[in-house]
Amino acid sequence: MTRAARTEACSGWWDEHYIANCIGSQELIRRYLSPFETTTWELAGVTISAKKRGNRTGVPKSASTWVYSFECDEFSVTVRSVWNGGDLLGPLKTHTRVIKVMPDTEEARHSYNAWLRSIAAI
């Protein structure tokens, strides 16, 4: 995980925005962003795209790994997610997580969090 995904100034992995942003991303992807139906969305001023990637090691052969990009003027967020059997592969904290936030600032992480809350993802 990059420093952009979580701040090192707080308590490391348990940074409040990192945890909330991962949970919000998981909920949003699971409920509304199935890559099997469409791969581009526009939602509340944010452009979302999904691209299939090669699977990580340690996931079932039937699984597929997707990378979601959330982009707007305030932030660009990348989330990796693994689907298996029509649902996200668990445990979610391992297989669906924020892997990059740009710009690499607390404001960008907060802006993404505010956007997730505005669409009731968290």
pTM: predicted TM-score of the whole model, two decimal places: 0.85
Q: What is the pLDDT of residues 73-114, one digit of tens each?
A: 999 999 999 999 889 999 888 899 999 999 989 899 999 999
**How confident is the model at residue 122, as a pLDDT?**
65
Q: What is the DSSP letter of 39?
A: S
Question: Sign (positive/negative) of CA torsion 6, 26, 46, 99?
Answer: positive
